[in-house]
């Protein structure tokens, strides 16, 4: 296929941003007013608000509410929809392939790597073929359709064993995504039950599986089971038990983006090593943020060996790193002064659906209960404001009835 060409008439410094997620999108918004030629190279033409994927799966928000089109939200920024597959650090060019299979490349004076992470797939038989992930809007919508379809089909099924199998759903991964999804989907299916008079409520099973010892340590429920094999009709667990007919939803964490591994640069657990200015050591014109970058957390004590711990892969950090990297990119081009990235983690809010939520947070006089914690957190995420006071972490535990029946692992 032919190679895309760039117009060289624009003499402004060229900044290329790979990725239109929390890191890339918000950096582009900050840089578009500057005297720079900014290009976002992104695999999709929208910014995806991934923390709302469980809500999209449940149907409390629609797809248009979680996806922001780049064309209308990034005026003054050139958007190229394509998949970056190689970065030539020596010649300062990014190579990509667009949706039509046509290859192109972009030259840069400054490069920001923000391609995020990918679903961590373990070496489990059948996993890649049969499990459903939760990283894209299409996966959330597919899951919703599948669950509704199972309810419809089970309602017509007279065999109780097959009916129960149709209504068994296994979520792997008891981090915030898995917990939110399990709680909200269990609430959804319970809510829909009156529409299906032939379905007994005890036939519907939502299971949360994890090798970790606890579901979000704050909730204190022990698990300790993993998945060993998956087929289209069965999920096998490490304790030897099998779940017939179970739909398997894979929320077992993320791992490094392959684009980062392909650079051949130092990494920490699949994330590109950067310094506190979000720059790649040895390549001062290259920056990385978000899930793709191992950003030192200067607010924590040094670890053994004298290294800083790394910021967790969250939107909370990616958005704030976007502000910091935009400032440092401008400074690197002679517009202002560089500053190290520093953000004290605000804690975590888990939306359990309906009126329920759980939060681990630092004390905040503005936050009184889980619901207001959730509202405050969502509002903060929306406006990117940091207003909490400092202090030790504390946990809040709120009604989790919707979860209790789902964590017994027995099916």
Ligand X SMILES: Cc1cc2nc3c(=O)[nH]c(=O)nc-3n(C[C@H](O)[C@H](O)[C@H](O)COP(=O)(O)OP(=O)(O)OC[C@H]3O[C@@H](n4cnc5c(N)ncnc54)[C@H](O)[C@@H]3O)c2cc1C
Question: Of 104, 256, 270, 290, which lies in the binding site for ligand X, with binding defined by CB under 6 A?
Answer: 290
Return the half-sphere exposure (C-beta side, CA atoms, 13 A cut-off) of residue 222: 1
Binding piece for ligand X, criterion CB under 6 A, among 164-172, 308-316, 329-337, 352-360: 308-316
Question: Of 15, 34, 74, 177, which lies in the binding site for ligand X, with binding defined by CB under 6 A?
Answer: 177
Cα(first)–Cα(last) distance of the chain, in Å?
A: 52
Q: How far, in Å, CA of 309 to CA of 295, rounded?
A: 8
Closer CB to ligand X, 124 or 143, in the complex: 143
Binding piece for ligand X, criterion CB under 6 A, among 22-30, 153-161, 192-200, 204-212: 22-30
Question: Of 13, 16, 50, 265, which lies in the binding site for ligand X, with binding defined by CB under 6 A?
Answer: 50
Burial class of residue 323, CB neighbours in 10 A (0-12, 13-18, 19+): middle
Binding mask 85-124 for ligand X (x = CB under 6 A): -----------------------------xxx--------
Question: Of 31, 38, 42, 188, which lies in the binding site for ligand X, with binding defined by CB under 6 A?
Answer: 42
Burial class of residue 142, CB neighbours in 10 A (0-12, 13-18, 19+): middle
Closer CB to ligand X, 48 or 225, in the complex: 48
Give the strand order in the sheet containing 227-230: 227-230, 234-237, 242-244
Please give the helix or strand (H or E) that residue 340 lies within, else none: none
Closer CB to ligand X, 36 or 349, in the complex: 349
Closer CB to ligand X, 23 or 245, in the complex: 23
Q: How far, in Å, CA of 83 to CA of 43, rounded?
A: 5
Any contact of residue 20 with ligand X (CB under 6 A)? yes
Q: How far, in Å, CA of 248 to CA of 246, rounded?
A: 6
Closer CB to ligand X, 147 or 259, in the complex: 259
DSSP one-letter code for 213:
S
**DSSP 3-state of 148:** helix
Closer CB to ligand X, 19 or 104, in the complex: 19
What the block records as the tokens of 326 is 């935009």
Q: How many C-beta atoms lie closer than 10 Å to residue 93's C-beta?
A: 16
- The pairing of beta strand 110-113 with beta strand 283-288: parallel
Q: How far, in Å, CA of 32 to CA of 99, rounded?
A: 25
Question: Of 55, 105, 291, 356, which lies in the binding site for ligand X, with binding defined by CB under 6 A?
Answer: 291
What the block records as the tokens of 198 is 């032939």
What is the smallest separation between the CB atom of 259 and ligand X, expressed in angstroms?
4
Q: How far, in Å, CA of 159 to CA of 278, rounded?
A: 59
Those residues whose C-beta lies under 8 Å from the C-beta of residue 207, and which sit 6 or more positions away, are 168, 169, 170, 171, 243, 246, 406, 407, 409, 411
Site for ligand X in 245-274 (CB under 6 A): 257, 259
Any contact of residue 208 with ligand X (CB under 6 A)? no
Instruction: Find out whether 34 and 17 touch, Cβ atoms under 8 Å.
Output: no
Binding piece for ligand X, criterion CB under 6 A, among 13-21, 120-128, 231-239, 359-367: 13-21
- Residues that bind ligand X (rule: CB under 6 A) add up to a total of 33
What is the smallest separation between the CB atom of 64 and ligand X, expressed in angstroms?
17
Binding piece for ligand X, criterion CB under 6 A, among 163-171, 237-245, 310-318, 400-408: 310-318
Closer CB to ligand X, 19 or 409, in the complex: 19
Could you tell me the sign of the dihedral formed by the alpha carbons of 84, 255, 384, 324, in that order? negative
What is the smallest separation between the CB atom of 341 and ligand X, expressed in angstroms?
14
Any contact of residue 21 with ligand X (CB under 6 A)? yes
Largest CA distance in the chain: 73
Closer CB to ligand X, 148 or 315, in the complex: 315
Any contact of residue 318 with ligand X (CB under 6 A)? yes
What is the smallest separation between the CB atom of 234 and ligand X, expressed in angstroms?
25
Any contact of residue 278 with ligand X (CB under 6 A)? no
Q: Which residues pair with 237 in a beta bridge?
A: 227
Closer CB to ligand X, 162 or 371, in the complex: 371
Question: Of 143, 243, 292, 310, which lies in the binding site for ligand X, with binding defined by CB under 6 A?
Answer: 292
Question: Of 13, 104, 173, 313, which lies in the binding site for ligand X, with binding defined by CB under 6 A?
Answer: 313
Interacting residue ranges for ligand X, rule: CB under 6 A? 18-24, 41-44, 50-51, 53, 83-84, 114-116, 134-135, 176-177, 257, 259, 290-292, 313-316, 318
């Amino acid at each position: 296929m032919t190679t895309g060409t760039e117009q060289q008439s624009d003499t402004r410094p060229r900044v290329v941003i790979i990725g239109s997620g929390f890191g890339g999108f918000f950096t582009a918004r900050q840089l578009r007013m500057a005297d720079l030629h900014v290009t976002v190279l992104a695999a999709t033409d929208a910014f995806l608000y991934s923390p709302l994927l469980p809500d999209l799966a449940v149907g409390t928000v629609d797809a248009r509410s979680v996806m922001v089109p780049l064309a209308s939200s990034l005026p003054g920024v050139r958007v190229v929809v394509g998949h970056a597959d190689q970065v030539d650090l020596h010649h300062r060019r990014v190579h990509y392939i667009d949706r039509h299979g046509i290859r192109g490349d972009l030259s840069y004076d400054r490069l920001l790597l923000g391609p995020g992470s990918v679903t961590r797939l373990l070496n489990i038989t059948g996993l890649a073929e049969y499990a459903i992930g939760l990283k894209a809007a299409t996966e959330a919508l597919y899951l919703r359709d599948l669950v509704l379809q199972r309810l419809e089909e089970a309602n017509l099924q007279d065999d109780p064993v097959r009916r129960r199998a149709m209504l068994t759903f296994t979520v792997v991964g008891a981090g915030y995504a898995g917990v939110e999804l399990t709680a909200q989907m269990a609430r959804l299916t319970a809510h829909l039950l009156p529409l299906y008079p032939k379905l007994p409520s005890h036939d519907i099973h939502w299971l949360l599986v994890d090798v970790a010892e606890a579901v979000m340590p704050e909730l204190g429920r022990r698990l300790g089971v993993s998945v060993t094999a998956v087929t289209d009709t069965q999920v096998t667990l490490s304790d030897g038990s099998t779940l017939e007919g179970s739909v398997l939803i894979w929320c077992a964490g993320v791992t490094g983006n392959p684009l980062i591994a392909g650079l051949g640069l130092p990494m920490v657990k699949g994330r590109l090593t950067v310094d506190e200015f979000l720059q790649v050591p040895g390549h001062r014109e290259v920056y990385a943020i978000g899930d793709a970058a191992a950003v030192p957390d200067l607010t924590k004590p040094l670890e053994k060996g004298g290294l800083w711990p790394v910021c967790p892969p969250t939107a909370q950090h990616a958005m704030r790193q976007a502000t910091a990297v935009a400032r440092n990119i401008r400074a690197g081009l002679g517009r202002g002064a560089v500053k190290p990235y520093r953000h004290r983690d605000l804690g975590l809010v888990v939306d359990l659906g309906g009126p329920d939520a759980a939060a681990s947070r630092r004390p905040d006089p503005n936050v009184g209960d889980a619901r207001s914690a959730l509202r405050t957190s969502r509002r903060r995420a929306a406006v990117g404001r940091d207003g909490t006071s400092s202090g030790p972490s504390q946990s809040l535990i709120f009604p989790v009835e919707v979860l209790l029946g789902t964590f017994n692992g027995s099916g």
